[in-house]
Amino acid sequence: MTPLAFEEIARRLAAWRFPEQIDGVVGIATGGVVPAALVAQRLGAGLKLIALNYRDEANEPRHPAPRLLSAVPDLGSWRRVLLVDDVYVSGQSWRAARALLPPDVEVLPFVLKGKVDFALIRDIDGCVQWPWRVY
């Protein structure tokens, strides 16, 4: 497991070019709560959460598909949002969360780590140790 310093994550976030005109940020709980809060703060945007569970502490699927654990947030007048999670492995949690949000809202992806274009960290293989998580 590769430890990541908070300062390094903050530096990368400060340099990231986010899309313009984002009305709000929706974080996928539980892993995406801190990343979504950091992104919302960086953008000066509102924050809402949706709780799903798919993987266990060892990052292995614990259910056949992600399970909804909370109410789906009311996005109100938001028309363009970032849907944020900590990691993107298979994309199942992200796609499940997207499917629960209104179809007329433009939902853009952002994750802290993954092998995808919209990931802040793409240069570290394997699992990472987030500075806000107790292991």
Give which of 110, 108, 41, 105 is closest to 72, Cα–Cα. 105
Three-point CA angle 82, 23, 100, nearest 5°: 50
Query: Which domain, by its residues, includes 70?
Result: 2-129
Tell me if 73 is assigned to some domain: yes
Pair of tokens at residue 41? 């703060």
Cα gap 39→33, rounded to integer Å: 10
Tell me if 134 is assigned to some domain: no
Q: What percent of the chain has pLDDT over 70?
A: 96
Tell me if 71 is assigned to some domain: yes
Residue 63 belongs to a domain with what CATH number?
3.40.50.2020
Average pLDDT taken over every residue of the chain = 92
Condensed to tens digits (0 to 9), the pLDDT of residues 22-68 reads 999 999 998 999 999 999 999 999 999 999 987 777 667 777 778 88
Phi-psi region of 108 (alpha: psi -120 to 50; beta: other; left: phi over 0): beta
pLDDT of residue 119: 96
pLDDT of residue 59: 67
Strand 2-3 versus strand 80-88 pairing type = unpaired
Tell me if 135 is assigned to some domain: no
Tell me if 56 is assigned to some domain: yes
Q: Is the pLDDT of residue 78 over 70?
A: yes
Total domains, the chain: 1
How confident is residue 134, by pLDDT bands cut at 50, 70 and 90? confident
Tell me if 119 is assigned to some domain: yes
What global pTM score does this model have? 0.91
